[in-house]
Amino acid sequence: MPTRWTLHLDVYIYATTHGNDPAATPSSVLNPLIDSVVSAFMPPDGIEQTLGGLCARCRVDGSIETDEGVFGDQGIAIIPITIYLAV
């Protein structure tokens, strides 16, 4: 029987406005980045993400934690990813 590995990792995304636009919030920069990562790991057509055949499947697995910079000009998102390997 082949060896099976399960890898759990967190992707950290930082976004900042650096005061370029006083009306801009970090969440306006952070949310499109989160959407891009989630759509890359969870294709809408229901086909499993295999990272180009490098793993059996890879997906966002769990709740995405965010701090959208309520008290400053920097926001952060932590996206949990699980990768299943069969070697």
Give the start-to-end residue ranges of the domains of the chain: 4-86
Whole-number average pLDDT of the chain: 86
Question: Quick one: average pLDDT of 28-35?
Answer: 90
Q: C-alpha angle with apex 80: 76 to 82, nearest 5 degrees?
A: 155
Provide the 8-state DSSP code for 18: T
**pTM of the entire structure?**
0.83
Q: What is the pLDDT of residues 61-76, one digit of tens each?
A: 999 999 877 667 888 9
Specify burial of residue 84 (Cβ count, 10 A radius: 0-12, 13-18, 19+). middle
